[in-house]
Amino acid sequence: MKISVSFIKSKYNEKETIKLIDKTDADYLHVDIMDGKFVEAKNYSFKQIEKLVKYTTKKLDVHLMCENPSKFIKDYALLNTEYLTFHLEAVKNPSDIINEIHSYGIKCGISIKPSTSVQSLMPYINDIEQVLVMSVEPGEGGQEFMTDVATKIDQLKEINTNFIVSVDGGINDETINYVRNADMVVSGSYICQSDNYQKQINNLRT
Ligand code: DX5
Ligand code: ZN
């Protein structure tokens, strides 16, 4: 199982956090972007992210919690981005966004909120490389894992085309047991609020 680390809730500032994540064997740096519209909180500008990601060689797994994802695609395509993920609930024409992301040679993810069904993803499922299942309401780190989203992982794994299934929110060494058949987990506060990032990552892997 791959591990993608979110740095928004940490003991240290962003720069120190990203440097510490870089030293671990985590697979990706998960970059949460909030626009103050799709979610209440507004966090980083692209300029800030551009500076921060200089402190890691990890590939980026970018999660756009934004009303207008199209606005961000060109910028994030310039970085070391492997996955660029937008929310199904945020857009009117998901296929246009998928095409736009693919036009930069980047893998495309679609994220669904806890209340959004797997069924609603079906028209796009063959065209994307990641489904990001939210196990908390998008908008902040450090929330409690919602156990009932685990059935979505099983539903998605049964479909078995060429996308990976990733889970985001409230993942720790206990809640990970609900989502063992996911291909990737995003974990933030469990790792970044500890003194030993690698130890926490090892706990998730075992
Ligand atoms: C929630 C974000 C998540 C979250 C992960 O809006 O998309 O990536 O910050 O952090 P934890 O593991 O603390 O829930
Ligand atoms: Zn996220």
Dist CA 166 CA 107 (whole Å):
14
| Residue 169 Cβ contacting ligand 1 at under 6 Å | yes
Domain locations in the chain as residue ranges: 2-205
Query: How far is ligand 1, taken at its centre, from the CA of residue 138, in Å?
Result: 7
Our answer to whether residue 173 is catalytic in this structure is no
Phi, psi of 16 (to 5 degrees): -65, -40
Q: Which ligand ends up closest to the CA of 83?
A: 2
Q: How many CA atoms lie within 13 A of 27 on its CB side?
A: 16
Q: At 186, give phi and psi (nearest 5°).
A: -100, 130
Q: Are 67 and 35 within 8 A, CB to CB?
A: yes
| pLDDT tens figures, 114-173 | 999 999 999 999 999 999 999 999 999 999 999 999 999 999 999 978 899 999 999 999
What CATH number was assigned to the domain covering residues 2-205? 3.20.20.70
The answer to whether 154 is a known catalytic residue is no
CA R_g for the chain: 16
pLDDT (tens digit per residue) in 15-44: 999 999 999 999 999 999 999 999 999 999
What is the spatial distance between Cα 196 and Cα 200, in angstroms, rounded to a whole number?
A: 7
Instruction: Please report the pLDDT score of residue 93 as a whole number.
Output: 97
Distance 51 CA to ligand 1 centre (A): 21
pLDDT of residue 161: 81
Instruction: State the alpha helices, DSSP H only, in the chain.
Output: 14-22, 46-52, 70-77, 94-102, 150-159, 189-192, 197-205
Model pTM? 0.98
Q: What is the pLDDT of residue 32?
A: 98
- Residue 105 near residue 84, CB atoms below 8 Å: no
